[in-house]
Chains A and B, each alone.
Chain A
């Protein structure tokens, strides 16, 4: 029982990473209309930047700064590479971000080395909070809280700010938004930046939990795709839910049949596609 609880909790945390990734991907998919394959690269970059910044500005400084640096790079990439592709066949944005993902992974390996690096979190966060459930460490709770805060922040942004309202409006009808005199190029750039920011944050948090490897991004991005498909394209809440569901499912599977813990999420995806093709909370016919 304790083992199951441990694995469910672990799965929930992994699910949080998937959810943060999927949220950013979903955001970009919605307004920018592209699948950002390089999302995993930005996630890894966030983590590695935090690793290099920590000696200078400490964990807390790195936690704040490196997602913003990743987001800034995201803005540059959007301006230079993604923008020419708007309105073209989705094939091209997929291929471009695919190539970008390869470049980022390779450059990270070149700068920081191919072997994994440890990323230590402040010791204040690292000791267990409970005597019985040893696995509930401060960092894990902190991680969940921060991820939830980031999500809440994103939803508040979309709900209560002018930019957020415009992003949501653009999701349903970009042409009209543009006709109303809103600069949709800037809007899409902001949206892309916010999505990358979330990836960077997920990267720092994941670095403290899973360690740093150049391939960490690519190993997290695939389940995030699954999270979006399970949750349904077009629904941010769905992507979040999808991420948590597959994370927990993988955790439960680890308890009973560890070898299948990677495969179970794809089986869930296949079942969802057969039973409910638009996903748990998705809209019918979006992006097709």
Chain B
């Protein structure tokens, strides 16, 4: 009884844990390529008719989608309400800059905490149910924040959005980083994007991340093993909330403006489709999805007033013909 077990374990272990150096380089190659492209983006973007702010917007959406994907793609939590935490991050930052402080980092910190703690607070309510139910609850909770922002006119600016604040320059001793410059702001955003990616990568490579993936793949089995699934989904929910709030905070700084649209369910859906478009079972999928989505949206809204129909059509077509997303598609091709 004992012998075959050890044998099979011994037979499997090397393949799983040991990786040849050459293979590691091949694994790292996509990430290196991504970072090289992102770092050089302000130089090659204009060549393709892009502009730096568009690059920054891609970063913001990609960061939000990466954060959501921690829950959606890696833990299997179908959240359709993550715009709430994006918006909370944005409003937190905007309100701080408008009423309290002129320090951009402090405002960002408050924004991230607002969104992240919001997710932490409402996580337990959502994780009481799973599957479709979970999706419905997250949508509804997201809408709640939208209505608060719209109704609390005097504080949030209501339907017109929050204006009257702008990002301020960073001071390091005597050195000043002028983030009003779009290119420098792009690198500023890229810095936080990198932090977000590092956190997500770290979590995914930790035992915690493995638990997330295990919950996604077989929740019933983990429940049998005595793993408190709800608590882990809550942790994933909170972590993704913090990352999404960071993206929201950057969004407020990018536009110097925050509107209730940043809390609206349509944005939540946008984040989900970004993950699906790029491939939600892959790490860089959300980034690829964000590039496609933001560029297409930018282009469509410049040529037609009916861009919403086209975005809707992207949803429909992606679901019907492209459910694994771009990277998921290539991954399957390579594995075959």
Interface residues of A (CB under 8 A from B): 29, 33-35, 81, 84-85, 88, 90-96, 98-103, 105-107, 110, 218, 222, 225-226, 228-229, 233, 259-260, 262-263, 266-267, 269-270, 273-274, 277, 287-288
Contact = CB atoms under 8 A, between A and B. Distances in A.
Interface string B274-287: 00100000000000
A277 B137 CA distance: 11
A88 B320 CA distance: 11
A228 B312 contact: no
Interface stretch (B2-10, B42-50, B144-152, B178-186): B144-152
Interface of B: 72, 78, 80, 122, 125, 128-133, 135-137, 139-141, 143-144, 147-148, 150-152, 265-266, 269, 272-273, 276, 305-306, 308-309, 311-316, 318-320, 323
A270 B126 CA distance: 9
A274 B72 CA distance: 23
B59 to A, nearest CB: 24
B135 A266 contact: no
B312 A277 contact: no
A105 B307 CA distance: 12
A266 B151 contact: no
B135 A94 contact: yes
A98 B151 CA distance: 25
Given A92-B319, A225-B139, A102 B78 contact: no
21 contacts: A94-B272, A95-B273, A96-B320, A99-B311, A99-B313, A101-B312, A102-B266, A102-B308, A103-B308, A103-B316, A106-B308, A106-B312, A107-B306, A110-B309, A225-B140, A226-B140, A260-B151, A262-B147, A266-B140, A266-B144, A288-B131
Contact of B151 (A35, A84, A259, A288): A259
A81 B135 CA distance: 21
B137 A99 contact: no
A225 B136 contact: yes
A35 B140 contact: no
Nearest to A93: B319
Contact of A95 (B141, B272, B309): B272
A33 B131 CA distance: 11
Contacts of A95: 269, 272-273, 276, 315, 318-319
Contacts of A93: 319
Given A95-B318, A102-B266, A277-B129, A229 B312 contact: no
A270 B141 contact: yes
B151 A229 contact: no
A92 B152 CA distance: 35
Contacts of B135: 35, 90-91, 94
Residue of B272, B312, B314 with highest tally of chain A CB at under 10 A: B312
Contact of A263 (B80, B151, B269): B151
Contacts of B311: 99, 102
A90 B272 CA distance: 13
Contacts of B130: 288
Contacts of A106: 306, 308-309, 312
